[in-house]
Amino acid sequence: MAKPKTIYICSECGEQSSQWLGKCPGCGKFATLEEEIVISNSSGLPSRGGWQTGTRQNSKSNSPAQPRVSLKFSQIANDTTERFNSGYGELDRVLGGGVVPGSLVLIGGDPGIGKSTLLLQVINQLGLRLPRVLYVSAEESGQQVKLRASRLGVCVYAETEKKSEKSNGKVKKDRKSSGKENQKIESNLYVMPETDLEEILRELESLRPQVAVIDSIQTLYFASLNSAPGSVAQVRECTSALMRVAKQENITLFIVGHVTKEGAIAGPRVLEHLVDTVLYFEGDRYASHRLLRSVKNRFGATHEIGIFEMVEKGLEEVDNPSELFLSNRDELAPGTAIVVACEGTRPLVVELQALVSPTSYSSPRRSTTGVDYNRLQQILAVLEKRVGIPLSKLDAYVASAGGLGVEEPAADLGMAIAIVASFRDRVVDPRTVAIGEIGLGGQVRSVSQIDLRLKEAAKLGFKRAIIPKGQSYSDDLGLKIVPVNKVIDAIVAAIPSKAGSPELPSFVQDEEEGEED
């Protein structure tokens, strides 16, 4: 019998060590090395063309070089994989246009954020259109899954209306039912509460579902390994085995993954490398909206987001996400500005709020919610140096309405305008959007996808846009474009010099009076 060998593997980066260390030598994290017992196989390696047996042919042979299994691009078939809809447009958008057959999708998120709820609703929609779908519950029993499904109103029955029969191109109407009859169609959803990997693989090979959900990968275990479920070896081997079966049987797998306290998916990094798509389900559990963000996608663009809202009956799609991140605009308040941020290919209109007040301490406090803290520090320094606003002894608070994370530099101009408006106690025109990046010299730099941002602002009824000077844009957007070169020019264009009426800023009143004349 082979002698067992003990090694220690880092749960964060997969670094191996022969002894336990408090700090991982690979990633530098503390207390991440986990013990794993490896049994060496001394029965010999399989023969692969003579490389292990020493029967390899002489490389200096005079025979012409020929490929064995490799192909040229011209020899590869041009078969295109047809996607199918998941039943939720927001999920299809994040996946790149639909679900790819035979793909592996990893979904991670905080506990209680709604991962299982989303997948249960999605697989119920797919069960109404596909012959077989499977939900593997490794954390709940079948009765618990059914109770949760009943609470959400899914996975039981779907009511449809029977269409009237047609004869000679005309619809026959029944006098009693008026051509309509309610039917109940049971979803082709199979539930399997199991944690043993071998049982799950046998069920996948026997049932051959089109789509399967594994909830979750950290709770599965492979009996041939001595390590505990959720360890590096268990997660790696379970995912590899599921991937092989999914590719052989052309099964689309949705795999739920737990996250660490830092927000990363628990387990080795090889878990994210094995799958085709990695999605993160984000959001504040105390808020109603949820963001589904793509960070890896072999079949589409990354950094796409889908927006859902948690209601009594589960998750619902948000038709107009820009309205979700715009607060109540009926009552105008100083220190607010509107920006258009882009998440992947989706433009989002977001309201930025700023509050500047005298500090009570020796060093002022800076706080951000939804925006980058370092960008705030940089903008405050630019405003004090280039514009002459004394902000070094004032507290500054900046937040995005709705809690959406706005990380891109295109929100710099709106952030600066909101800070100055709060400092001067002025109201910015609510029909104006600001788009631009601020450099250290006070200049306003160009941003990408300007036409996409302006079209979204025009669709929501905005009338004016402050953008970087020299930025090319379409002329048929219905917006009054104000190009600026310096941040001080944008502040002058956005903030009135004197306080106007609370309903409308003074410079907007002057513009309307000029139009009437």
We report the CATH number of the domain holding residue 387 as 3.30.230.10
* 305 and 332 both lie in a single domain: no
Same domain for 124 and 21: no
User: In the numeric block, which tokens belong to residue 110?
Assistant: 């905080």
| Same domain flag for 294 and 308 | yes
The whole-number pLDDT of residue 157 equals 52
Give the single-character DSSP code of 390.
Answer: -
d(CA 423, CA 481): 26
CA distance 193 to 198: 13
364 with 298, same domain? no
287 shares its domain with 405: no
Q: Which of 52-56, 247-251, 380-384 has the lowest mean pLDDT?
A: 52-56
Q: What is the pLDDT of residue 512?
A: 42
Average pLDDT over residues 288-307: 88
Residue 103 within a domain: yes
**d(Cα 325, Cα 488) in Å, to the nearest integer?**
27
Q: What is the distance between the alpha carbons of residues 388 and 391, in angstroms, rounded to a whole number?
A: 9
Question: Which one of 319, 335, 366 terminates a domain?
Answer: 319
242/357 same-domain check: no
Per-residue pLDDT band at 119 (split at 50, 70, 90): very high
Confidence class for position 48, pLDDT limits 50, 70, 90: very low
pLDDT in tens, 431-464: 999 999 999 999 999 999 999 999 999 988 899 9
Residue where a domain stops, chosen among 319, 348, 363:
319
Taking residues 103-132, report their average pLDDT.
Answer: 91
Rounded Cα distance, 466 and 484, in Å: 7
Residue 239 has pLDDT above 70, yes or no: yes
Give the percent of the chain with pLDDT over 90.
45
What's the rounded mean pLDDT across residues 203-232?
A: 90
- Based on the fold, state whether residues 335 and 480 are members of the same structural domain: yes
Mean pLDDT of the chain, nearest integer:
82
Cα-only R_g, the chain: 29
Residue 461: per-residue pLDDT: 87
**Distance separating alpha carbons of residues 309 and 292, to the nearest angstrom:** 11
Task: Flag whether pLDDT at 95 surpasses 80.
Answer: yes
Q: Which residue has the higher pLDDT, 107 or 155?
A: 107
Residue 167 in 3-state DSSP?
strand
- Predicted local confidence at residue 510, as pLDDT: 45
Over residues 225-242, mean pLDDT: 87
User: Using 50, 70 and 90 to split pLDDT, how confident is the model at 328?
Assistant: low
> Does residue 134 have a pLDDT over 50?
yes
Most confident of 295-309, 436-450, 485-499: 436-450
Same domain, 152 and 268: yes
Residues 451 and 507 reside in one and the same domain: yes
Residue 259 has pLDDT above 70, yes or no: yes
Of 25, 42, 59, which residue is a domain's last? 42
Q: Which residues pair with 398 in a beta bridge?
A: 354, 368
Residue 396 lies in a domain: yes
- pLDDT value at residue 405: 82
In a domain, 148, yes or no: yes
Instruction: Please tell me whether residues 15 and 138 are part of one structural domain.
Output: no
pTM as predicted: 0.75
Per mean pLDDT, which range of 66-80, 396-410, 494-508 is the poorest?
494-508
Contact predicate 429/500, CB 8 Å:
no
**140 and 34 housed in the same domain:** no
Specify the pairing of strand 437-438 against strand 432-434.
unpaired
Q: Residue 69 falls within a domain, yes or no?
A: no
Per-residue pLDDT averaged across 378-382, rounded?
95
Residue 467, domain member (yes or no): yes
pLDDT digits (tens, 9 = 90+) for 173-201: 444 444 444 456 678 899 999 999 999 99
Region 233-248: mean pLDDT is 91
377 falls within a domain? yes
Q: What is the dihedral of CA 135, 136, 140, 143, to 10 degrees?
A: 50
The answer to whether residues 456 and 510 belong to one domain is: yes
Angle between helices 373-382 and 412-424 (to 10 degrees): 60
Rounded Cα distance, 505 and 482, in Å: 17
Domain around 103: 89-160+182-319
C-alpha span between 173 and 355 (Å, rounded): 65
The structural domain count of the chain equals: 3
Report DSSP letters for 232-301, one per residue: HHHHHHHHHHHHHHHHHHT-EEEEEE-B-TTSSBSS-THHHHHSSEEEEEE--TTSSEEEEEEEEETTS-
> Which phi and psi angles does 367 have, rounded to 5°?
-140, 140
Cross-strand pairs, 353 = 336, 399
Answer whether residue 63 shows pLDDT above 70. yes
Tell me what pLDDT residue 158 has.
Answer: 47
Quick check: bond before 216 cis, omega within 30? yes
In a domain, 222, yes or no: yes
- Residue partners of 365: CB distance under 8 A and separation at least 6: 359, 395, 396
Could you tell me the pLDDT band of residue 492, with boundaries at 50, 70 and 90? very high
Q: Residue 368: helix, strand or coil by DSSP?
A: strand
Question: pLDDT at residue 228 above 60?
Answer: yes
Return the residue matching tokens 């006098």: 175
CATH code for the domain of 232:
3.40.50.300
Mean pLDDT of 297-321: 87
